[in-house]
Structure 1
Amino acid sequence: MRQFITIALLSALPTLSFAHTASPFLLPEVFDSKSDSVSFQSSITVEKFFVPSRNFKTSYQVTNPNGKTESINAAAELKKFNIAEFNLNDDGTYRIRTKEATGNPTKYALVDGHWLRVRPPRPANAAPMQQPPANAEQKAPQQAPANQPPRFVAEDQVPANAKTVQTTNIYIAESFVTKGKPSPIPNVENKGFEFKFLTHPNELFTGESLKAQVLMNGKAVPNLEVDVFKGVSSYQPNAKRDQPPVKTNAKGEVEVKFNEAGIYLITTAYPEASPDSTKQPAAQTYTYSVTVEVTE
């Protein structure tokens, strides 16, 4: 029974939007709890005005106000999202974070001096492209600019001697839940990709800002674009969700100002995608998000 109640609660939460690329997210049922337990969901969001798009395999780490970390698994693994819960035994702030979560590996091949993403070959029995009706207005097919190299190559079209690499995308999604009065959150580990919060993520109010320093293996990441999206009620289909993106400064510091109350998804990717296809893709990339609530 608890599982079905939890799913109902989570489905009633405001939805978030993500317009640019796939991102993991972790969404608690509440951010300020008076209960002895809390439930949350995790998923991947792809489309603008999204609902959970697809699931990804992960367990979770929960760090309690005393600094002790425990690992938990999902209580239910569904096609589009996971449901999990944990106990709030002590007052203070709890951090929830995905653990050892990775996306499907992406293969690239070096073809004519450009790194192209390798796609599976088109099945032989795939439906043919639909042809326009005979009386339809004929338009010249759109073609890529002459100086624009292709971005993809079918697997069966990769030259036999082509150099290939594989990229693994690490998903990091986190959020914070407080029972009673907020307490200090865990320190960064200076390992991998991290947000070092300079303001408490559970003490955010309208007109104020979330400040953080973005780190990679303990070193500041300057000039990194961070996207911000606002959750809205399903009864507000035309509400504006995309917020202006922000960038880290020379010290890797970023500031996200909130003009309205609500739930926000703050997300970024490292390293940023390069438009220069002559550069070899990184063997390991990170997609990060934190979900926060802003109150009046």
Structure 2
Amino acid sequence: MKRFATPLLALAFLLPAATQAHDIWIVPSATVLSGDEGWVTVDAAVGNDKFYFNHRPMNLSALQITGPDGKQVEAENKFSGELRSGFDVHLTTDGTYRIAIASDGATARWKEDGKMKRWFGPAADLAKKVPAKAEGLEVQERVSRVETFVTKGKPTAIGKIDKGISLIPVTHPNDLFSGEHAKFIATIDGKPAAQIPVEIVPGGSRYRDTLNTIKLTTNDKGEFEVKWPQPGQYWLHISSQDQKTSVPQASKRSLLYSATLEVLPQ
């Protein structure tokens, strides 16, 4: 339990996708439930292979679970082990639940006594942790969202996220089938994100010679479409940078988004 005291998502904030050493994800035990089924267990990890626990657990301090009515749902039985974190979600009403670890913080690096120093954490702690006039000081705001979707019974609408990168599903994320097309709109701060790259990687990469990455680019309306080649879990990833920072000391803002989607057989 000691790990929950560490600030934010650690490795999730280090670098954009092109240079990030590890992937981050949350993966539910099921994404579609019916009848009397009402529980899912969710794993959260940082690793070298999608959906395999081979590096370290994720921090759950920024966990957000939004129920079909828009109200927050409390996670149950939270834990953190050596390689993964986890929790249970009780789906008490029908509809779609949005399960996310969403963080907004800052990273800083500077030189002190001839050595490089680094810090990451909540933006409110920046002034206390980092010398304001440090040599070579560089500060970035980091906005990260890692999420998945679970539906009990009939799917319900998914609300818009107003900060950072997110998705507006045109095709519901719990209504995905192999061989069919699905359409989404990528947003930044709630507005369509035009002409930004999207990558989608099927799970099971440990047992393949190649990642089989699907590379897409949003259109001018932020839209992108994918045809699912096979059933299974998929990792969807988007990253971007801009200068729209809310942290006064920061020169730029790094945005990171990933979602776990399950594609079912027809």
- TM-based fold match above 0.5: yes
Distance (whole Å) between structure 1 residues aligned to residue 49 and residue 18 of structure 2: 6
Amino acid at match of 1:166: V
Show the counterpart of 1:289: 258
Q: Unpaired segments of 5 or more residues in structure 2? A: 1-16, 119-132, 243-249
1:38 maps to 40
Instruction: Work out the CA distance in 1 between the residues paired with 2:84 and 2:238.
Output: 21
**Does the aligned pair in 1 maintain the 2:205–2:211 contact within 8 Å?**
no
Cα deviations across residues 130-173 of structure 1 (Å, max 9, x unaligned)?
A: xxxxxxxxxxxxxxxxxxxxxxxxxxxxxx98542122433311
Asked if 1:228 is matched to 2:200, the reply is yes
Separation in structure 2 between the aligned mates of residue 108 and residue 249 of structure 1, nearest angstrom: 38
Counterpart residue identity of residue 44, structure 2? S
Aligned to 1:70: 73
Q: Which has the higher strand share?
A: 2
2:95 corresponds to: 92
Q: How many residues align?
A: 222
Please give the residue correspondences for 1:188-203 in structure 2 after superposition, counting only pairs within 5 Å.
188-203=160-175
How far did 1:30 drift? 1.0
> CA deviation digits over 1:10-43, x for unaligned, max 9?
xxxxxxxx99633321100111224221110112
**What secondary structure, in the 3-state scheme, does the structure 1 residue paired with 2:53 have?**
coil
| C-alpha RMSD of matched pairs (Å) | 3.1
Conserved 8 A contact 2:27-2:51: no
SS for the counterpart of 1:70 is: coil
8 Å contact kept, 2:109–2:117 = no
Give per-residue Cα distances to partners, 1:43-63, cap 9 Å, x unaligned. Answer: 223457953422232332222
% same residue: 26
The equivalent residue for 1:187 is 159
Q: Which runs of 4+ in 1 moved over 6 A?
A: none
Task: Identify if the C-alpha distance between structure 1 residues 171 and 73 changes in structure 2 by more than 3 Å, giving closer, same or farther.
Answer: farther
TM normalised by structure 2 equals 0.71
Alignment correspondent of 1:107:
109
CA distance in 1, matches of 2:141, 2:169: 26
CA distance, structure 1, for counterparts of residue 158 and residue 51 of structure 2: 32
- Is this contact kept in 2: 1:19–1:47, CA < 8 A? no
In our comparison, the structure showing a higher alpha carbon Rg is: 1
